[in-house]
Amino acid sequence: MKILICEDNPMAMKTLSVVLEREGYTADVADDGNVGMEMLQKNEYDLLVVDIHLPYRSGLELIKFVRSEQGKDTPVIILSAFSDIQMQRQAGELGISEYIVKPFNPVDLVARIKSILNK
């Protein structure tokens, strides 16, 4: 299974990629919205883990691209330092699978990923 991680925090990105690869997933990483967009155009992913606030393009813009431009219903987990209700509502309208507020527990995140991918 192939997962795209769009995260601008280097420590969070590294933690996520290491944990996911230990679980047998292939993890591609993008540290800004433009790189994330390029990767979405070139590759197929089974799941996206996206921060909302990214340089150049937001995580919400990436999700809108996947849903509208690509017409895909790829599962999406949002990781965000913001627990803003309005932001959660916007993300929910885009059909996300989970909204997780940072800091996150890597073990819990992996359990959620497995649950989503096994549906």
What are the pLDDT digits (tens) for 74-115? 999 999 887 778 878 888 888 999 999 888 898 899 999 999
**Rounded to whole angstroms, how far apart are CA atoms 23 and 82?**
27
**Rounded to whole angstroms, how far apart are CA atoms 6 and 25?**
15
The whole-number average pLDDT for the span 61-68 is 95
Tokens representing 59?
């995580």
Residue 27's pLDDT band, with cuts at 50, 70 and 90, is: very high
The DSSP code sequence of 80-93 is ES---HHHHHHHHH
**pLDDT score at 31:** 96
Domain edges within the chain: 2-117
CATH architecture of residue range(s) 2-117: 3-Layer(aba) Sandwich (3.40)
Q: How many CA within 13 A on the CB side of residue 52?
A: 21
Which position has the token pair 């509208």?
68
Which position has the token pair 């895909």?
72
The answer to whether residue 29 scores a pLDDT higher than 90 is: yes
